[in-house]
Structure 1
Amino acid sequence: MIRILASLVGLGFTAVVLFALGSGIFTVIDQGKLKETPPEYAFKKGPRDVSFAHDGPFGKFDRPQLQRGMQVYKEVCAACHGLKYVAFRDLEKIGYTEGQVKALAAEFQVPGIDPNTGEAALRPGLPTDYFPSPYPNDVAAAAANNNAIPPDLSLMTKARANGTAYVYSLLVGYQEPSAELLAAAPDAAPGPGLYHNPYFPNLNLAMAPPLTVDGQVTYAEGNPEATIEQMSKDVAAFLAWTAEPTLEKRRQTGWPVLGFLLFATILAYLSKKQIWSAVKPKKRD
């Protein structure tokens, strides 16, 4: 009786799984997601081949590059994008002094309370504050950006495949649509308020090119020339740090752990060989 009940339960479970699978396939087909790929998608490009100091299992962040990227973010990107998961005091981890952090924080206006009236007001930032959003809410953000809400950049390089290279490619990838693209898909031309970029998933986006000329940000003496490509690479590296500030510590911890696990595995194997060495297997007749 128990076997019959177990078999019935198994059959019921299988039927539910098959029904869910069939329902999902039908939904995808019904929504047209399995139809022919739009012709303009053939012109979409993957991220450029670019390398960063923190790439690879032994990579480490380039502190001067992170500081240059912070400067590009502050002078260019912060006008539309926030970093809500990054506190100003975290910047000490990339080489800023306590005094520099205080000065940088004070350049931003963050929400606060007027001590005289008790009403909401803006005040200069403190090291303990987090980078503020440039807009009070999503409605204001959409109204200022052609109904497109600029995303927070704190975790952007973790939210996109090959994120650091993607951010870099997007920043340097603005261009006019090619004649081949317009011939294959005339509707792919960017509409009002949109800009063509082959590194963006649907080829057109509402964000205007943020970096337009070399020297848009003035780097301190001794740094590389502030070309569009250099500024794009620097801010992409900075956003890689904001998304994973413990990257170096995680790697420093991970390698000893892997070494210990390897040693423990070898030790366990040798112990097993030693313990069972005196036991002889029985011979079959």
Structure 2
Amino acid sequence: MIGRALLGAAMALMIGGGSAQAAEGIVPPSQDWSFNGVFGTFDKASAQRGLKIYKEVCSGCHSLNLMYYRNITALGYSEDQAKAFAAEYETTDGPNDDGDYFTRPARPSDRFVAPFENEKAAAASNGGKAPPDLSLMVKARMHGADYIYALLTGYKEVPPEGVTLSPGGHYNEYFPGHQIAMAPPLFEDAVEFDDGTPATVEQMAKDVSMFLAWTAEPEMEDRKGMGVKVFLFLLVFLGLAIANKKRLWAKLH
């Protein structure tokens, strides 16, 4: 529960610091993401681990309002696994024949169940500010996944010489102003990965960043694949056009 609250607050602060980050010129180091480039694809194993981090750490505060449980089949899960994953959550449905709303286990066709009934309830449980939805977080932040990874790994136990933190503040290299109220949200072995991958802070930050990159653009691989097909089509069409032009000019000469 502590981990959920900490990550929730840290993610909330990510959104609010966008313009300040730009003004201060904070540029996070570029990571070697598998989805970069024309032929880039999502690392499914990493994204699956990221989903586990979201489930066990983030979902207590943050929603994924644009995602359906059935979407996780794109990460390599079977339909039965998606059904079982969805069934772990309760959602409100109705009205029934008596005009009443009721709860039932979620289905693959349902959106991810939000942790709070409404924004006011979310704000009341988080110091007056509702944690942001994470569906498009990577697109909402400058430098996208690089910034999320950098912020989650950018905490320093001891601030640089000459820097004085306010009570309760923590030093972060990549947060605007370098002072963040929340303690580091990730810690060693916060989760246990099913594939045996060591749950270091860096690994968890990389995996949850990968997962959020996928939630922000789940159609990316299909879009890139279509782009390559269109490019090849145009290349072949250009070749045919050039050949046809040469044949026509040959007849004229």
TM-score of the alignment, normalized to the shorter chain, above 0.5: yes
Q: Which residue of 2 aligns with 1:234?
A: 207
Q: After superposition, where does 1:7-46 map in structure 2 within 5 Å?
A: 45-46=26-27
How many percent of aligned residue pairs carry the same amino acid? Answer: 42
Determine whether 1:266 maps to 2:239: yes
1:131–1:190 distance in 2 versus 1, CA, 3 Å: farther
- 1:204 deviates by 4.6
Q: Which residue of 2 aligns with 1:283?
A: none
TM-score (norm 2): 0.79
SS at 1:76's partner residue? helix
Alignment equivalent of 1:217, drawn from 191, 199, 204: 191
- 1:83 deviates by 0.7
- 1:156 deviates by 1.2
Give the number of aligned pairs.
Answer: 232
Unmatched tracts of structure 2, length 5 or more: 1-19
Q: After superposition, where does 1:108-257 map in structure 2 within 5 Å?
A: 108-113=89-94, 115=96, 118-175=99-156, 178-179=159-160, 182=163, 189=165, 196-204=171-179, 209-211=184-186, 213-220=187-194, 222-257=195-230
Q: Which residue of 1 aligns with 2:5?
A: none
Unmatched tracts of structure 1, length 5 or more: 1-37, 281-285
Whole-Å Cα distance in 2 between the matches of residues 162 and 92 of structure 1?
A: 27
SS at 1:111's partner residue? strand
SS at 1:123's partner residue? strand
Q: Contact 1:190 / 1:196 at 8 angstroms: preserved in 2?
A: no
- 1:75 deviates by 0.3
Whole-Å Cα distance in 2 between the matches of residues 203 and 181 of structure 1?
A: 13
The residue identity in structure 2 corresponding to 1:80 is C
- 1:270 deviates by 4.0
Whole-Å Cα distance in 1 between the matches of residues 196 and 132 of structure 2?
A: 29
Q: Contact 1:145 / 1:206 at 8 angstroms: preserved in 2?
A: no
Q: Which residue of 2 aligns with 1:4?
A: none
Alignment equivalent of 1:91, drawn from 43, 48, 72: 72
The residue identity in structure 1 corresponding to 2:193 is Y
1:200–1:127 distance in 2 versus 1, CA, 3 Å: same
Runs of 4+ in structure 1 off by over 6 angstroms are none
The residue identity in structure 1 corresponding to 2:173 is P
- 1:120 deviates by 3.4
The residue identity in structure 1 corresponding to 2:33 is F
Q: Which residue of 2 aligns with 1:34?
A: none
TM-score (norm 1): 0.71
The residue identity in structure 1 corresponding to 2:216 is A
Whole-Å Cα distance in 2 between the matches of residues 52 and 260 of structure 1?
A: 28
1:210–1:124 distance in 2 versus 1, CA, 3 Å: farther
